[in-house]
Amino acid sequence: MDACPFPESEYLDRVARAQALMQEHRLDALLLTAPPNFGYFTGFETQFWESPTRPWFVLVPRQGTCLLVVPEIGAPALARSWIGAVHTWPAPRPADDGVSLLADTIRNLERRYGRIGMEMGRESVVRMPLVDLAVLRDRIRGVDLVDGSPAIWALRALKSPLEVDCIRRSCQAVGRAFEALPATLARGRTERQAARALTLDILTRGVDAVPFLACASGPGGYPEIISPPSDRPLEDGDVLFLDVGATTRGYFCDFDRNYALGRIPDAALRAHEAVWRATEAGIQAARPGRTTSQVWQAMMDVLESAGMRGNNVGRLGHGLGRQLTEPPSNMPGDDTVLEPGMVITIEPGMEYAEGRMLVHEEDVHITEDGPDLLTPRAPREMWRIS
């Protein structure tokens, strides 16, 4: 992969928007440690994040260019990034794993507000040892480390055309693989075999990785939607559920499909029709100026009229981008106003019988002209596996 997946102008625009938000939120800088945020500003994508040994830091100041404070092992790759200002230490060094270097870098920043934002809020994590964070606080007395997640999420919520294109490419590759799956399966195969065949096909269609795949099956439906595939054989009357998060240049798709094996119960067919219609209602409601709670209500109206018993997922969709799930949530109380550039999932689900549910999901880009469906729309009737 190139040193940066996008042109330098893309990153400069992100920094400019971040700096405007920092003024609004009275922050002197953003200190970012989590892989999605690190990559958002640097363009650096690596599977080395699977190693938790070393922390990595990017500082986005209120004025000026970004600063990187990273382990020496990352210097050669990051030297090719657009930033150029890379400070390193010989990691791992548990007694002082970059803390002194980071503290010195922070103390040299121009101060106006005496506040630096970090990933402390909802759907955020700080990727450094808490004991080191305590030491850092002590060494930068006079500078408060505060929750910067409102500014971070306001920034990342609005995707550029290049970001949307990456999500679209992930969606299209997975959608084609979903459509081709029935020709490769038959009753008697296991969930694991179905998931493996789907994953291999998705990878051949050009995505970079398939970090997430959930699978479930059962007579006429399934009890939950977050488990990995099992060795359960697929039988006549089953519904097979597969939910995929694949990435292109670090950007996720997140949507599912349902498959009928042989003849499934009429109640399951009616429930599938209901969630398909609820998805349609959610897509049509996903327009600029509407709120995520209004999108939720549009779906709930359909589900409740169809006799919905419950929904253990807790929401009916969410934001999407560099993470499989991002704010906002389609749910009561989250009244985020949709704006052009946002990408959200439309994900109605309903329990229609004890321990039996069906879920649909599509990915939508919010535009001035209305919803732009990024996923190939699921068929109204389930694909069948003979």
CATH of the domain at 29: 3.40.350.10
Number of helical (H) and strand (E) elements in the chain, helices listed first: 10, 18
Secondary structure class of 206 (helix, strand, coil): coil
In a domain, 2, yes or no: no
Secondary structure class of 80 (helix, strand, coil): coil
Closest by CA position to 383, among listed 268, 261, 234, 280: 261
Domain at 276, CATH number:
3.90.230.10
Closest by CA position to 152, among listed 11, 319, 21: 21
Residues 306 and 245 in one domain: yes
In a domain, 384, yes or no: no
Residues 264 and 291 in one domain: yes
Domain boundary among 104, 122, 157: 157
Closest by CA position to 358, among listed 186, 235, 239: 239
- Non-local (6+) Cβ contacts of 214 within 8 A are 225, 226, 227, 228, 241, 242, 243, 256
Residues 149 and 165 in one domain: no
Distance CA 294, CA 80 (A): 45
Tell me the residue type at 300. Answer: M
Residues 98 and 191 in one domain: no
pLDDT in tens, the chain (386 residues): 456 799 999 999 999 999 999 999 999 999 999 999 999 999 999 999 999 999 999 999 999 999 999 999 999 999 888 987 899 999 999 999 999 999 999 999 999 999 999 999 999 999 999 999 999 999 999 999 999 999 999 999 999 999 999 999 999 999 999 999 999 999 999 999 999 999 999 999 999 999 999 999 999 999 999 999 999 999 999 999 999 999 999 999 999 999 999 999 999 999 999 999 999 999 999 999 999 999 999 999 999 999 888 888 889 999 999 999 999 999 999 999 999 999 999 999 999 999 999 999 999 999 999 999 999 999 999 999 98
Angle, CA 337 vertex, CA 336 and CA 339 arms, to 5°: 125
- pLDDT by residue (tens digit) across 301-357? 999 999 888 888 889 999 999 999 999 999 999 999 999 999 999 999 999 999 999
Q: Which helix (H) or strand (E) holds 95?
A: none
Length of the chain in terms of residues written: 386
Tokens of 131: 């004991």
Residues 38 and 81 in one domain: yes
Three-state SS across 311-336?
A: CCCCCCCEECCCCCCEEEECCCCCCC
Domain range spanning residue 15?
8-157
Distance CA 71, CA 361 (A): 40
Cross-strand partners of 214 = 243
Helix 35-42 with 149-157: angle, nearest 10 deg = 60
In a domain, 15, yes or no: yes
- Non-local (6+) Cβ contacts of 73 within 8 A are 48, 54, 91
Distance CA 194, CA 339 (A): 38
Total domains present in the chain: 2
Angle, CA 212 vertex, CA 156 and CA 197 arms, to 5°: 140
Residues 177 and 120 in one domain: no
Tokens of 286: 């996903």
